[in-house]
Amino acid sequence: MTKCDLAIIGSGPCGYVAAVRAAQSGMKTCVFEKDSIGGVCLNWGCIPTKALAASSAALYNIQRAEEFGINVKDYSIDFEKVNSRKDAIVKKLASGIETLFKARKIEVIKEEARMKGAGRILAGGQEILAKNILIATGSVPSELPGMPFDGTYVLSSKDLLSLKGAPKSLLVIGGGVIGCEFASIYRSFGLDITIVEMMDQLLPGEDREVAKKLEQILKKKGVKIFIKTKVERLQKAENAIKAFLSDGSEIGAEKTIVCVGRRPDSEGLGIEGIGVERDRGRVKVGKDFKTNIDNIYAAGDVIGGLLLAHVASREGMASVEAMLGRESDIDYSVVPNCMFTQPEIASVGLTEKKAREQGISVLFRKFLFSAIGKAHVLSETEGFVKLVVDSDNDRIIGAQIIGPHATELIAEISLCVQFRITSEKFASVMHAHPTLSEILQEVSEAVHNKAIHSLP
């Protein structure tokens, strides 16, 4: 019988980070993983998707090489190599996590875990006694009623990432972050792409102007987009699938990917039998990530909230701190949200609309990448930055970016939002020239009508 201070069920961004933090704090830790080390993020989510996005970006640069004075006579896409590169990256990073576990003497049990009590877990015929248990099982893709995943025609994100080749056409149901990322990536590979979104804009919940700009860019690239439209039903045909839409349209495609959200993965853990409370699959926890059962904690996607890998990692660390009797508050108002479309999109804090809904006297300024020298050097001038400021105290309370390297630029604004930096203070920070980050200085100067590279 194995005994440990902390048993973690799941090795994704929440579970493996929590395990390392616990081991750093002197806790004897074991991790249960029924599938692949690294969880969804590493194996079928963030990392493989961004590996495909990197291949897409390389192709984009080849296609516009002539702009830079380079003539590329011929090129072709080798999907087998694209996928093998993706898989190699995943394998290397998974191996890295296992190395971290080994170095910290974290025991890994590659079996399905089932709780039998507040401190008892059964897995692979063995029993583990733990002083604390952390449920970090993440989430799984949501299905549409009457349209279950079949792995052949109706795909989840995991199914799509597991394909060895690429279909000629792809119907994307859901125009949120995941749907738009896949649409952008696979359109660059030459696929015929259609997005169907039931809400009144792509990226529901994001800044409307940013969403509209992305829609314009995707349409310019040949993506067909249906807004305020539902897929009523799907019908399988020979080597294809047909979608019947609420506006009366019919769309045919070789494959369909359903990107309508994710749901907590809390089934089969045995938590029903020991009385752990859930709400529609979401494990209920308090501020300290403790469930209603002493010494059982949960964090990451399985508790709902913001289903993002970096949030899950921070929650995993915070849950360990709570077990040790330490406070570790998480400010969910400053979580950066990043989208690896072409161009990239990133946001943090409040949009202008959300700030006004909260009764904040708001001031916002927009600055275009076309006014930035480095953007012209890169030949990537589409997009802009919007900075949202509380006009009563000049504090930066949010930002939205669509443009080159947006997912990197947002980190600087995240710091400003978290530490309540004013636009005037931020404008005083010298940014190197020529860099894309100069746009952040310009937009902060614009709050007080002092931007240099803009017309009066």
Which CATH number fits the domain that encloses residue 378? 3.30.390.30
310 vs 298: CA distance, rounded Å: 16
Domain contains 274 = yes
Give the integer Cα–Cα distance in Å for 49 and 343.
Answer: 15
Look at strands 2-9 and 29-32 and give their pairing.
parallel
Q: Does residue 433 have an active-site annotation?
A: yes
For residue 134, being part of any structural domain is answered with: yes
Distance, in Å, from the CA atom of 357 to the CA atom of 215, rounded to the nearest integer, reads 25
Where a domain ends, among 330, 346, 361?
330
The tokens of 389 are what?
């400021």
Is 148 among the domain residues?
no
Contacts with 429 (C-beta within 8 Å, 6 or more apart), sequence order: 441
Is the domain of 367 the same as that of 418? yes
Q: Which domain holds residue 158?
A: 154-260
Instruction: State the Cα angle at 288 between 283 and 292, rounded to 5°.
Output: 45
276 and 256, same domain (yes or no): no
C-alpha 215/C-alpha 18 separation (Å) is 38
Check if the beta carbon of residue 178 is closer than 8 Å to that of residue 332.
no
Tell me the three state secondary structure of residue 167: coil
- 0.75 surpassed by pTM: yes
- Encoding tokens for residue 297? 């904690």
146 in a structural domain: no
DSSP E strand boundaries for 204-332 = 224-227, 231-237, 240-245, 250-253, 255-258, 262-264, 278-279, 282-283, 296-298
Whether 223 is in a domain gets the answer yes
Last residue of a domain, one of 330, 346, 379: 330
Counting as low any pLDDT under 50, the low residues of the chain are: none
Task: Indicate whether 14 and 128 sit together in one domain.
Answer: yes
Q: Looking at 330, 356, 383, which one is the last position of a domain? A: 330
Count of the separate structural domains present in the chain: 3
CATH number for the domain including 221? 3.50.50.60
Same domain, 338 and 319: no
Q: Alpha-carbon distance 383 to 213, whole Å?
A: 8
In a domain, residue 454? The reply is: no
Give the DSSP H/E element, type plus range, for residue 385: strand 384-390
Q: Which two tokens stand for residue 45?
A: 């989510």
* Residues 366 and 430 occupy one common structural domain: yes
Query: 121 and 24, same structural domain?
Result: yes
CA distances from 299 to 61, 134, 302, 333 (A): 40, 7, 6, 18
Nearest to 317 by CA among 77, 25, 109: 25
Whether 405 and 427 map to the same domain: the answer is: yes
Same domain for 132 and 9: yes
Radius of gyration of the chain (CA): 24
> Is the domain of 301 the same as that of 381?
no
Angle at 410 between CA 406 and CA 415, to 5 degrees: 170
Residue 28 to residue 129: CA distance in whole angstroms:
12
Q: Tokens 């933090």: give the residue.
A: 21
Say what the pLDDT of residue 329 is. Answer: 86
Same domain, 241 and 101: no
Q: Is residue 452 included in any domain, yes or no? A: no
Annotated catalytic residue: which of 310, 376, 405, 433? 433
268 and 132 fall within a common domain:
yes
What backbone torsions phi and psi does residue 86 show, to the nearest 5 degrees? -55, -50
Rounded distance, CA 390 to CA 275, Å? 45
The answer to the question of residue 456 being in a domain is: no
